[in-house]
Chains A and B, each alone.
Chain A
Amino acid sequence: MSLVLKKGNEVVGEAAIRSGCRCYFGYPITPQSELPEYLARRLPQVGGVFVQAESEIAAINMVYGAASTGVRVMTSSSSPGISLKQEGISYIAASQLPCVIVNIMRGGPGLGGIQASQSDYFQATKGGGHGDYRLIVLAPSSVQEIADLVKEGFQLADTYRNPVMILGDGILGQMMEPVDLGSGDVGELPDKPWAARGKKGRRSRNVINSLYLDSEKLEQLNLSLQKKYRLIAERETRAETYLTEDAQIVVAAYGMTARICKEAVDMVRKKGIRAGLFRPITLWPYPEKELRLAAQHSQAVLTVEMSAGQMVEDVRLSLNGEVPVEFYGRLGSMVPSAGEVFEEIQRISKKIGEVK
């Protein structure tokens, strides 16, 4: 294992190359611009294509085109830029094309700010574009996990012919941590008989399309998409738990916030409060069963986010009223401190004591 010290954004780029990604289309925006900058230099070295498009909308449609040919392709942006890409993302999902889309979130709404945030959870997991579609959404919480999840993301995208989103925040994108990038030997990429890259001796040509004017056919497409989404939901949930076995209070958080909460959990444990951490790694599909298991002996779940409360809705849906759910969040790129989360856990612990 050899470690290098690298920025999260650059690691997205390097991990993509080591996953066989050879096409990138994007438009710069803080706090993820180190990623296109890195790929502008690196992709030509490995025979790849880097295009800085004229806009985010152009970039996502270039992804649509490249993905149609079966190559591994990626785009990235930050919150306002991801909003611009939504139409294309819906088309790609409908056309069942694999690709990886990276959102290094910044504060919103509107043009917002350039610092970290987690307020695009709804957009990522509930469909920011139109129609009944889903993205597979992966949420790394360290630079090492960025490398691992980008690789996994490309595999999942190919396996299910579905767009995958890597959802990080501005801190994660800009921070440096030691990372093991692995060998870069992806082996043989999966066969893609559906790709539009010439007839190759077949009688009919492959068509990539998202337009179905016949309602019955459109319903059939939707039914097959829903079947695929159910399969993904059954098979592909991922989560990390920390000290949840005996936890009275389970803190649920993802990404950078989860690491802050882990520190808070250690702090309250020293005070004798039995707290634990539940960290979803897949935000869609949401690891509902894993959360129910982690919270089965708990008396309260505290969700912490850098938003006004978005993931907390999935926490409530997963627990379905079995455990009371509390929320703590900071807005507009303010980052909750471990001390604040510590206070919240203490407050809830006191409340539980009084109910008894």
Chain B
Amino acid sequence: MLPVIWQGIVTGCLYSLGALGLVMIFKSSKMVNFAHGALAGYGAFSVHALTAGGAGWPWLAAVAAALLGAIAISVLVYGLIAELLQRAATTATIATLGIGLIAQGMILWQYGSNIFRLDLPLPHLSFSILGMALTAYDVAVLSATFLVVVALFLVIERTRLGVAFRAVSTDPFAARVCGLSISRVHLFSWVTSSMLGVIAALLIVPTTFLSSTTVTTFMLQAFAAAVIGGFDSLPGSAIGGILVGVSCNLFSFYVAPELLNTFLLTFMLASLSFFPGGILSQRLGSRV
């Protein structure tokens, strides 16, 4: 049982990374980005195309290029959506679904429905602690998650942009009255979110393979993590990711792996019934 939980924690970290991106966008612009998975998948595919898939770049350069590309795309996406956001979050949400479809279609068009392998450039190490095999991959995932979360925390807590982000997410109107540029904060959250998405995608792909749907299906767990942790809480979604990772692993190991989506659905509905607004939310007044 212990190895199953441990593997759950490792993949849960990646769900947290995905969920953090979704929550960043939700906190600033009050909308859900359904294109998150498809765009992150596009990033993973471009890393593959730049390294093993032909161009033969060094891995780090390819990742840097993919991150830059993700930033450019997220700026473009935000530019398309910005005006919709001022009217209704619903229409902006539907627009992100459209963008997700386009990204998915572009992946299919450029790379077909083939399956690729995309490994991290890691040495084949594995040590054994308490009867559990600890591989270099696990260490890489844990340390990458740790670094990203710490960096995100520092940016949000210590920089002027982070203060502005918190102000906008608490009260957009008051923030605008104080002279903060809303669209700059939105851009910050969209850019950060897209980078988090690409990092999560690159880390999740080695566990399975890279196909046009891998990353999008992976993002369902990220959505579940965000729902369980609360869409307006960054630490909540980080914990939610690990909870989802562990419980999914336990469920598919002991009960039925073919019912995983159904399990996630019931898990989300149960969590909404017992912890409306997320596991970390204090129940302060109404949230209508």
Decide if A and B are genuine partners.
Answer: no
Interfacial residues, chain B to chain A (CB-CB below 8 A): none
